[in-house]
Amino acid sequence: MPLTLPPSSIATAARSLTAAAASTAANSTTATAARRLSLIKRNLTPVPVAAAAKMTAAYTRKHRVTVIGSGNWGSAISKIVAENTKAHPTIFEPEIFMWVFEENYQLPSDHPKYDASKHSSPQKLTTLINDLHENVKYLPSITLPSNVVATPDIKAAVRDATILVFNVPHQFMGNICKQLEGAVLPYARAVSCIKGVEVSADGISLFSDYIGKRLGIYCGALSGANIANEVAAEKFSETTVAYDPPGHLTPLPEELPPVDHSVMKHLFHRPYFHVRVVNDVAGVSLGGALKNVIALAAGFVDGLGWGDNAKAAVMRVGLMEMQKFGRMFFQETCRAGTFTEESCGVADLITSCNGGRNHRCAMLSVREGKSIEEIEARVLNGQKLQGTSTAREVNQFLAQRGLEKEFPLMTGVYLILSGQAKVEDLPKMIEREENDK
Amino acid sequence: MPLTLPPSSIATAARSLTAAAASTAANSTTATAARRLSLIKRNLTPVPVAAAAKMTAAYTRKHRVTVIGSGNWGSAISKIVAENTKAHPTIFEPEIFMWVFEENYQLPSDHPKYDASKHSSPQKLTTLINDLHENVKYLPSITLPSNVVATPDIKAAVRDATILVFNVPHQFMGNICKQLEGAVLPYARAVSCIKGVEVSADGISLFSDYIGKRLGIYCGALSGANIANEVAAEKFSETTVAYDPPGHLTPLPEELPPVDHSVMKHLFHRPYFHVRVVNDVAGVSLGGALKNVIALAAGFVDGLGWGDNAKAAVMRVGLMEMQKFGRMFFQETCRAGTFTEESCGVADLITSCNGGRNHRCAMLSVREGKSIEEIEARVLNGQKLQGTSTAREVNQFLAQRGLEKEFPLMTGVYLILSGQAKVEDLPKMIEREENDK
């Protein structure tokens, strides 16, 4: 990209970066310094006229993409997005930012890229990522494309981004949105890769809606049968992107390609990561939450040794309850097929019931005759099961509305978790509902 | 049941039994002799007036049920049906016939019911089943209800049956129908538990349609995630019964309850075997055939070690192709939800991809770098994979119509089986189709 700004603008831009970013830049190699320069430029300036004249596309600006989050799934998505921004340069600026919650990290001396002259003491994680093109802490052994630029400055990372991809643990969303309020472009569009929904007695809230409302922009959702490490290793998988912006948004500048299903597909689809784009944001989000409750049921049944028939039956009944839940509480937008036909529904459920942690802990709890909390503490190394809290929240929500009997499997999981029913009762609980129809 | 026929009628009836049946009866204990008597009676006589007067139901006759077949699945279904005919005596005659292809069987001396005075030489299988209430050869260790009467005489078994349940290997159907032509009640209704369909370049034929046409009666279908031994052990599972008789059938006598979805549910539903009754016979039948092709694809992918994401993706794409196949070739009757919402669809697919023989052989073939025929010969002990022949037949059918590209996964499985493609090509083959949409 030709340099068209006078050096003084660059100096101004550099001052606008936070101390953290500056300190990262100070640690950088020459290659990283060049990327920083490009970062500064892109925070400041539209595409230069000279460059625009060379474009073959109808639009004179390209989308700038930023990923908020750098855990294993955030890093895997950054890899995918960066591969695609590079592959589709008429739509996207190739370089993307990945916002990293900064921390110091000591690179192990047996790491293949360990260099005693640089890595003998802990380094900033952003510095290591930008130097080594690898998220050495959260996605080790996977090379990130060189057009992924890690930055600790969340405001600088989003300032010029026209497309934001959120991929952080849900408990951090409140604080992140607080930092981002007023900092994003009013015409930015977003996609949330945060699985699940927030359910309470009062109602159900989608993370995508929460992000959209807090930032005053539109936010869609991405969810599917996507174990992060398998996606990062380019093992084949699929995902579902839900994107259905309303008409009353702040319009995009005319110079930018409209953000439609085609742009979403170009942003996320890879030969090893197949994307289907749908409109049903609620369905895509619910799938990622409710499947954890069903995975507990499948685990309970496996724990009893009831065999493959029983497991498949529980999964099928669970899929139908997920679908019914969506249709009952999001009837305006929720499509039955989102659950039964898309990766975010049936495929994610299959993966979670085959190898997920909810399934595993539930199975061990029955097999060993111990509470699931005891298994959780032993097996998960301090992490928490999402299925158990979702099962309780969903039950509270249903009980408040007198609808527990309409969802006998989800209710059964809650009753088993709270010691009010036995796993052996599940067929009978499900049967009653079937006969009521 | 009061005896209302003069002894001479019984003598006549006894003569009408075949020599095989008579020889079985000769070997019987007193208890079996009593059942034989009842068998003879029911072959001859409608419900006596005296008994009818005592009935509380609105109908004066009850359905007589016969199961054709006594393999492990046939015996498991006989057990279920007999439990239900006993549980619902206002709808059904409790006693059911199970037709057995007669053979001699030497009861092992370590069998818990072995009695040296009777079992030191090979016995007729029907005699053993009726004496021991166990199909000692094909479903050992499972007690059959005492109201299951095994008989080697197929014509006697069906003569008075108003409901016929077919459960034999599909290759025997032609010969069985030949024996039954003209032998069944014109107003009998049937259900086929034979999985799958017959596909050739010329077209697709449902076993239920074949039975119905050959015998001049209506035949529905039963299919689901049902591993016979698990069902027999009363481990929880579900199934789907498809039953949608046309209007122009020979009507049932008015004394008999109409055979509707409720009767089907009463006949097959158990606390451990949940039944959903639908109308879509084609969908239920297709599910049981096409899932074997998809299970091969899932096995191939597992053989490569691509992980749970990839397997779930292949299963989801396969489910969509099954649904598309049904909708394209049986559009009048086929319902999309039969594949994505019922046990015969998504649940049977899940079971087949988790533990079925098609999945297993395909996985081993990739893992060991050997042809699937080689694995089949080694692993299946002379039995044949259904998935490989169905994949070839489906391909022939699609190729004839120029529709191979519309079903890239099923086509891909065929190409891999015939050495024209590699498993690694599957994502690309599927991707092309997705992009064509």
Q: Are the beta carbons of B226 and A309 separated by less than 8 Å? A: yes
Domain match, A224 and A268 both? yes
Nearest to A274 among B225, B226, B431 (CB): B431
| B28 pLDDT tier (thresholds 50, 70, 90) | very low
Domain match, A271 and A288 both? no
Average pLDDT of chain B is 88
Q: Are the beta carbons of A347 and B313 separated by less than 8 Å? A: yes
Answer yes or no: is A51 within a domain.
Answer: no
Residue A267 contacts B, CB cutoff 8 Å: no
Answer yes or no: is A382 within a domain.
Answer: yes
Answer yes or no: is B357 within a domain.
Answer: yes
| B22 pLDDT tier (thresholds 50, 70, 90) | very low
- Chain B, 7 to 66: residues with Cβ < 8 Å from chain A are none
Answer yes or no: is A203 within a domain.
Answer: yes
Residue B272 contacts A, CB cutoff 8 Å: yes
Residue B342 contacts A, CB cutoff 8 Å: yes
Q: By the 8 A CB rule, do A5 and A41 touch?
A: yes
Q: Are the beta carbons of B309 and A225 separated by less than 8 Å? A: yes
Q: By the 8 A CB rule, do B12 and B41 touch?
A: no
Residue B343 scores a pLDDT above 50: yes
Domain match, B363 and B257 both? no
Domain match, A225 and A314 both? no
CATH number, domain of A322, equals 1.10.1040.10
Residue A28 scores a pLDDT above 90: no
Tell me which of A88 and B27 has the higher pLDDT.
Answer: A88
Residue B340 scores a pLDDT above 80: yes
The share of chain A scoring above pLDDT 70, in percent, equals 86
Q: Are the beta carbons of B238 and A309 separated by less than 8 Å? A: yes
Domain match, A299 and A401 both? yes
Q: Could you tell me the end-to-end alpha-carbon distance of chain B, in angstroms, rounded to an integer?
A: 65
Tell me which of B322 and A41 has the higher pLDDT.
Answer: B322
The active-site residue, picked from B62, B137, B291, B311, is B291
- Chain A, 218 to 247: residues with Cβ < 8 Å from chain B are 225-227, 230-231, 235-238
| B434 vs A contacts (CB less than 8 Å) | 274, 276
A118 as an active site residue: the answer is no
Average pLDDT of chain A is 88
Residue A35 scores a pLDDT above 90: no
Domain match, A415 and A314 both? yes
The reported pLDDT for the residue numbered B432 is 65
Answer yes or no: is B435 within a domain.
Answer: no
CATH number, domain of B235, equals 3.40.50.720
- Chain A, 375 to 414: residues with Cβ < 8 Å from chain B are none
The reported pLDDT for the residue numbered A287 is 95
Measured between CA atoms, the residue of chain A closest to residue B308 is A351
Domain match, B163 and B143 both? yes
Answer yes or no: is A55 within a domain.
Answer: no
The share of chain A scoring above pLDDT 90, in percent, equals 79
| A195 pLDDT tier (thresholds 50, 70, 90) | confident
Closest C-alpha among A274, A249, A273 to residue A260:
A249
Domain match, A403 and A386 both? yes
Q: Are the beta carbons of A274 and B434 separated by less than 8 Å? A: yes
The count of domains in chain B is: 3
Measured between CA atoms, the residue of chain B closest to residue A233 is B306
| A363 pLDDT tier (thresholds 50, 70, 90) | very high
Answer yes or no: is B85 within a domain.
Answer: yes
Which of A196-205, A235-244, A260-269, B172-181 shows the lowest mean pLDDT across its residues? A196-205
| A268 pLDDT tier (thresholds 50, 70, 90) | very high
Where does a domain end: B252, B279, B306? Answer: B279
Span A237-255, pLDDT tens digits = 999 999 999 989 999 999 9
Span A284-308, pLDDT tens digits = 999 999 999 999 999 999 999 999 9
Where does a domain end: A260, A279, A298? Answer: A279
Domain match, A223 and A332 both? no
| A315 vs B contacts (CB less than 8 Å) | 346-347, 350
Residue B119 scores a pLDDT above 80: yes
Domain match, B304 and B193 both? no
Q: Model pTM?
A: 0.85
Domain match, B178 and B264 both? yes
Mean pLDDT of B187-199: 92
The reported pLDDT for the residue numbered A432 is 65
The reported pLDDT for the residue numbered A201 is 80
Answer yes or no: is B57 within a domain.
Answer: no
The active-site residue, picked from A79, A137, A195, A291, is A291
Span B395-408, pLDDT tens digits = 999 999 999 999 99
Residue B313 contacts A, CB cutoff 8 Å: yes
| A226 vs B contacts (CB less than 8 Å) | 309
Domain match, A86 and A114 both? yes
Where does a domain end: B236, B251, B279? Answer: B279
The upper half-sphere exposure of residue B220, i.e. CA atoms within 13 Å in the direction of its Cβ, equals 24
Residue A204 contacts B, CB cutoff 8 Å: no
Residue numbers of the domain that contains A185: 65-279
Residue B93 scores a pLDDT above 50: yes
Span B351-375, pLDDT tens digits = 999 989 999 999 999 999 999 999 9
Span A45-61, pLDDT tens digits = 443 433 334 344 579 99
Mean pLDDT of B263-280: 97
The reported pLDDT for the residue numbered B195 is 85
- Chain A, 96 to 155: residues with Cβ < 8 Å from chain B are none
Mean pLDDT of A70-77: 97
